Chains A and B, each alone.
Chain A
Amino acid sequence: MKDLIKMLIWVFFIILAFVLQANHFLSLGGINPNLILLVIFGGVIAKKKILEFLILISATVLLSTVFLPYWLKEILILGSLGILALLLKKLLTGNNFFDFLILILLGTLGFYSIINFRYLFANPPAIAAELIYNVILGLITIFVVKNFFYEEETGIKS
């Protein structure tokens, strides 16, 4: 029952990210933060079991067919980056706070490298602005998780 509630909370966050992402609700100066990346990489940090994380990725892909049907390729790339991050998590610092920020930075650059390599060089200021925006939202996410969820459930150290 507890696991089901936790999974439903994650589903809620995924749907929220999809809705905000698709409608550019948090867009500032034309820069839209990558909320789906934040949710997936949040899952990389919070989920200790591979199976749980794979369920999270599957739920994301499944929900994207409803909320972002045209952009399934992008969601699959983000999901793949999430799985890659989970596999390489042990190579990071071990501090969940720094690991999350590192993953956001690498994930944002990795996503654009795969989806459109040319964009990385076409508009560096926009990339930098999005990186900063993603990191700020990542910090806010950490703050929310630390204050409103139990440490033992999330794995994020106080």
Chain B
Amino acid sequence: MMPKKYILSFILLAVLFGVYFYQKNIFISLDKFKNYNSALTELRLENQGLRQNIQELTNKLNLNSQPYLTAQVYSRYPFNNNQSLIIDAGFKAGVKVGWPVLTAEHYLLGKIIKVKADTSEVETVFSPNWRSTVKIGPLGAEALLVGGRQPRLEFISTNAKIDLDNDVLSVSPDLPLNLFVGKVSEVISQPAASLWQAKLKTDYDPNQLRKVFIITDYEGFD
């Protein structure tokens, strides 16, 4: 009879492989489907960017076309307390600290916080240290965007009129005006509270990002 330790080893290996394959989505998606899904995500992001572009053109906002630099995501922060990214463009490519980083055109992801020769670190809206001012919805209610695994919108006036799925746009002076950040997913309004909170949702998974866009030649106020 097979020794117990080999049976346990087999189970252990099976569990480890199971976790690995689950994480890689191999059980539910073959490579072909994965590529299709990835292409679909890219198209969706591009579509969002275009829609945002149309909206901004319609509203006559931020019409200046900004030059972009494309970069691949090289590495992600390895622990759970942060969601910063390393991208494969550094000072050799002219990248500077403070430049905004987008997932699609006009779709804010974060900004450059550290630059090396061939790589840069991007602090994203999912990083816990992220703080920036935003406006919500068509009436432009002001709020503070607080980064995290689920970014939050804080210090919203109780008089503000906000609804689910309202657009959230950046109005932070260190970033280009009216970059799209995401949509309101939940409004937390307690009767006794003097200020409201809301949760932000984005249509992309930061863990799945492969390519980002850096707005170049941008000088914002810090």
Q: Interface on A for B, CB 8 Å cutoff? A: 21-22, 24-28, 30-32, 34, 36, 68, 70-71, 74, 111-112, 115-116, 118-119, 122-123, 126-127, 130, 140, 143-144, 147
Among B16, B86, B128, B207, contact of A24 (Cβ-Cβ < 8 Å): B207
Residues of A within 8 A of B9 (CB): 147
Among A22, A28, A31, contact of B75 (Cβ-Cβ < 8 Å): A22
Q: Is B211 an interface residue (CB 8 A)?
A: no
Docked-complex contact B128 and A118, CB < 8 angstroms = yes
A interface SS class: helix
Q: A26-B23, A147-B9 are in contact. Are A112 and B207 (CB under 8 A)?
A: no
Docked-complex contact B80 and A31, CB < 8 angstroms = yes
Docked-complex contact A144 and B12, CB < 8 angstroms = yes
Q: Is B121 an interface residue (CB 8 A)?
A: yes
User: In the complex, A37→B161 CA distance in Å?
Assistant: 47
User: In the complex, A107→B119 CA distance in Å?
Assistant: 30
**Smallest CB separation, B88 vs chain A (Å):** 12
Docked-complex contact A24 and B78, CB < 8 angstroms = yes
Residues of A within 8 A of B19 (CB): 26, 28
Residues of A within 8 A of B78 (CB): 21-22, 24, 32, 36, 68, 71, 74
Q: A25-B23, A28-B22, A70-B75 are in contact. Are A116 and B8 (CB under 8 A)?
A: no
Q: A26-B20, A70-B86, A144-B12 are in contact. Are A122 and B79 (CB under 8 A)?
A: no
User: In the complex, A28→B16 CA distance in Å?
Assistant: 12
User: In the complex, A28→B23 CA distance in Å?
Assistant: 6
User: In the complex, A60→B123 CA distance in Å?
Assistant: 26
User: In the complex, A130→B149 CA distance in Å?
Assistant: 14
Q: Is B216 an interface residue (CB 8 A)?
A: no
Q: Please list the 4 inter-chain residue pairs (A to B) with the smallest Cβ-Cβ separation, ordered nearest first.
A: A119-B81, A21-B78, A116-B81, A147-B5
User: In the complex, A148→B76 CA distance in Å?
Assistant: 33
**Smallest CB separation, A67 vs chain B (Å):** 10
User: In the complex, A112→B79 CA distance in Å?
Assistant: 10
Residues of A within 8 A of B80 (CB): 30-32, 119, 126-127, 130
Docked-complex contact B8 and A115, CB < 8 angstroms = no
Docked-complex contact A122 and B75, CB < 8 angstroms = no
Can you name 15 A-B residue pairings with CB atoms under 8 Å? A21-B78, A22-B76, A25-B23, A26-B16, A26-B19, A27-B207, A70-B119, A116-B128, A116-B129, A119-B80, A130-B80, A140-B15, A143-B12, A144-B12, A147-B5
Residues of A within 8 A of B8 (CB): 143, 147
Docked-complex contact A116 and B82, CB < 8 angstroms = yes
**Smallest CB separation, A85 vs chain B (Å):** 18
Bitwise interface map of B from 1 to 43 toward A, beta carbon under 8 Å scored 1, else 0: 0000100110010011001101100000000000000000000
Bitwise interface map of B from 113 to 146 toward A, beta carbon under 8 Å scored 1, else 0: 0100001010000001100000000000000000
Which residue of chain A lies nearest to B12 when distances are taken between CB atoms in the complex? A140
Docked-complex contact A115 and B5, CB < 8 angstroms = no
Residues of B within 8 A of A34 (CB): 79
